[in-house]
């Protein structure tokens, strides 16, 4: 069973595919953290007429078909609803994806000086090949929460007038021992120290100071960004690759950028709701969560009660809340748990099984199961649900393919699918194929992004 190349659909005119990719590239370049994604979603949703759930509750409002509602969870995860004609108990069609990406987090006590270099200590977040994070331009994104309650937004290294940051690597001339090491040990976690200064303070009082370079850096931080060393204790600053997402290839068919996993699914999920202006029969939801890369844990991860609580509020607004209504709403829901799929890589073909791999350019990918070592940790979608999904996609002329994550026993991975499956929802993993997943720069095909948008729209309308 060969699946066709999705570009063939656009042989005469690919302008819609290219135009949608432009919006996505802007999003990818501007939103490199979960918080930046949520800020973007709130602004866009408000522009499109969505109202915050908190506002409706405060006003004692009621829910009716056609209402468009959003809710942010601590600025790190986000839910968007298009309220349908049917009661919520008939279930919600959910597009789930995550908005956190692998990166390096600045530690709580990060700044130190060594041999006239000022450095920032980091702890990596998610699965990274540590050797990929050295010798590339890095930016700092995040927040500093001060004791007086103010929260400063930090974004340094993206404007062309900004400085960038970098982690050094050992020169090849002295690397004979390093190059004998296993890949996981070539660069180790505690060596991911971000270089951030080399100039000591110049005034007389401090000339003999032990850590004059660190002192200078802290002074500059205070002057320019208005926070003290102690404020790092209550900061969340993420070190991410600096720079914009770019078109890739002579044909501009692909995008090279940081954080496709999983913004390449989150963005079309969000846009599918935004661009669906008709009142659907069932309520549709885009659920965009944090912390997937470290196990979906914590208040902003998929395992949090956030979603369930929002559903309870919606039921209350629609009539009268009861536990059985909430349970029915959950169990009758259908989900596309969207996360990136490993694209077949001809450079590393030995870890893939050709007949069951995802290919760049062949459309939206469905993974009946993911997992590792005999499907362990997987949400194995039912055959009946898979049949329903096939029909929805075929009827809407969406190019799709099915895949596993690599060859049996080559490795594996998980998604948020099983967590929603625990509510007895119908769930299948879906998403876009990515090359170099979890690298500082990942690669996707524009046509796969567009087929995802079409597939998501067809799903919320027909599931």
Residues that bind Mn ion (CB under 5 A): 261-262, 339
Q: Indicate the residue among 120 and 432 with the shorter CB distance to Mn ion.
A: 432
The Cβ of residue 373 has, within 10 Å, a number of other Cβ atoms equal to 10
Q: Indicate the residue among 238 and 261 with the shorter CB distance to Mn ion.
A: 261
Strand partners, 342: 434
Closest separation between CB of residue 307 and Mn ion, Å? 18
Cα–Cα distances (Å) from 69 to 126, 229, 310, 328, 396, in that order, read 31, 40, 11, 21, 26
User: What Rg do the C-alpha atoms of the chain give, in angstroms?
Assistant: 23
Q: Indicate the residue among 211 and 262 with the shorter CB distance to Mn ion.
A: 262
User: What is the rounded CA–CA span in Å between residue 54 and residue 72?
Assistant: 9
For residue 340 the two structure tokens come to: 């990136």
**Residue 58 neighbours by CB under 8 Å, 6+ apart:** none
Burial 407-430 (b: 16+ CB within 10 A, else e): eeeeebbbbbbbbbbebebbbbbb
Closest separation between CB of residue 67 and Mn ion, Å? 30
Closest separation between CB of residue 351 and Mn ion, Å? 17
Q: Indicate the residue among 436 and 462 with the shorter CB distance to Mn ion.
A: 436
271: region left, alpha or beta (phi > 0 left; psi from -120 to 50 alpha): alpha
Q: Indicate the residue among 156 and 287 with the shorter CB distance to Mn ion.
A: 287
Closest separation between CB of residue 97 and Mn ion, Å? 8
Closest separation between CB of residue 27 and Mn ion, Å? 16
Closest separation between CB of residue 438 and Mn ion, Å? 6
Closest separation between CB of residue 437 and Mn ion, Å? 6
Closest separation between CB of residue 394 and Mn ion, Å? 26
Closest separation between CB of residue 339 and Mn ion, Å? 4
Q: Indicate the residue among 218 and 335 with the shorter CB distance to Mn ion.
A: 335
Q: Indicate the residue among 68 and 438 with the shorter CB distance to Mn ion.
A: 438
Exposed, middle or buried: residue 301 (CB in 10 Å: 0-12, 13-18, 19+)? buried
CB 339 within 8 A of CB 429: yes
CB 86 within 8 A of CB 282: yes
Sheet of strand 117-125, all strands in order from the earlier edge strand to the far edge: 151-156, 138-145, 235-241, 103-114, 117-125, 194-197
Closest separation between CB of residue 451 and Mn ion, Å? 18
What does the DSSP 8-state code read for residue 109?
Answer: E
User: What is the rounded CA–CA span in Å between residue 89 and residue 439?
Assistant: 42
Q: Is the dihedral of CA 392, 394, 399, 405 positive or negative?
A: positive
Q: Indicate the residue among 261 and 290 with the shorter CB distance to Mn ion.
A: 261
CB 428 within 8 A of CB 366: yes
Q: Indicate the residue among 89 and 262 with the shorter CB distance to Mn ion.
A: 262
Q: Indicate the residue among 120 and 289 with the shorter CB distance to Mn ion.
A: 289
Q: Which three-class secondary structure state does DSSP give residue 168? A: coil
CB 251 within 8 A of CB 89: no
């Amino acid at each position: 069973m060969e699946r066709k190349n999705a570009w063939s659909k656009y042989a005469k005119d690919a302008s819609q595919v290219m135009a949608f990719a432009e919006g996505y590239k802007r999003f990818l370049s501007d939103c490199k953290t979960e918080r930046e994604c949520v800020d973007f979603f709130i602004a866009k949703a408000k522009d499109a007429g969505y109202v915050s759930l908190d506002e409706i509750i405060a006003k004692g409002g009621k829910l009716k078909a056609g209402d468009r509602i959003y809710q942010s969870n601590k600025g790190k995860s986000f839910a968007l609803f298009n309220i349908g004609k049917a009661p919520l108990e008939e279930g919600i069609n959910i597009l789930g994806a995550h908005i956190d990406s692998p990166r390096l987090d600045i530690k709580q006590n990060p700044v130190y000086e060594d041999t006239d270099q000022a450095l920032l200590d980091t702890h990596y977040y998610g699965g990274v090949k540590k050797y990929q994070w050295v010798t590339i331009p890095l930016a700092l994104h995040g927040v500093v929460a001060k004791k007086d309650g103010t929260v400063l937004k930090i974004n340094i290294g993206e404007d062309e007038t900004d400085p960038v940051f970098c982690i050094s690597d050992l020169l090849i001339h002295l690397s004979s021992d390093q190059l004998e090491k296993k890949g996981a040990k070539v660069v180790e976690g505690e060596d991911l120290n971000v270089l951030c200064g080399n100039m000591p303070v110049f005034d007389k009082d401090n000339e003999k100071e032990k850590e004059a370079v660190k002192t200078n850096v802290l002074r500059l931080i205070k002057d320019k960004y208005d926070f003290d060393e102690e404020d790092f204790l209550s900061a969340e600053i993420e070190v991410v690759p600096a720079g914009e997402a770019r078109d890739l290839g002579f044909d501009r068919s692909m995008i090279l950028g940081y954080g496709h996993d999983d913004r390449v699914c989150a963005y079309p999920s969000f846009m599918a709701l935004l661009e669906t202006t008709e009142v659907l029969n069932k309520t549709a939801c885009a659920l965009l969560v944090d912390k997937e890369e470290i196990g979906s844990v914590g208040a902003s991860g998929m395992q949090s009660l956030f979603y369930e609580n929002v559903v309870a509020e919606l039921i209350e607004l629609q009539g009268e809340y009861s536990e059985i209504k909430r349970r029915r709403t959950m169990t009758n829901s259908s989900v596309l748990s969207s996360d990136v799929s490993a694209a077949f890589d001809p450079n590393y073909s030995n870890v893939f099984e050709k007949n069951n791999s995802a290919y760049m350019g062949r459309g939206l990918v469905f993974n009946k199961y993911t997992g590792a070592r005999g499907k362990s940790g997987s949400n194995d979608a039912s055959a009946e649900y898979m049949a329903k999904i096939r029909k929805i996609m075929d009827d809407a002329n969406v190019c799709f393919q099915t895949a596993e994550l690599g060859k049996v026993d080559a490795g594996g991975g998980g998604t948020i699918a099983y967590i929603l499956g625990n509510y007895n929802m119908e769930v299948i993993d879906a998403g876009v194929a990515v090359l170099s997943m979890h690298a500082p720069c990942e690669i996707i095909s524009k046509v796969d992004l567009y087929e995802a948008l079409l597939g998501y729209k067809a799903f919320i309308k027909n599931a």
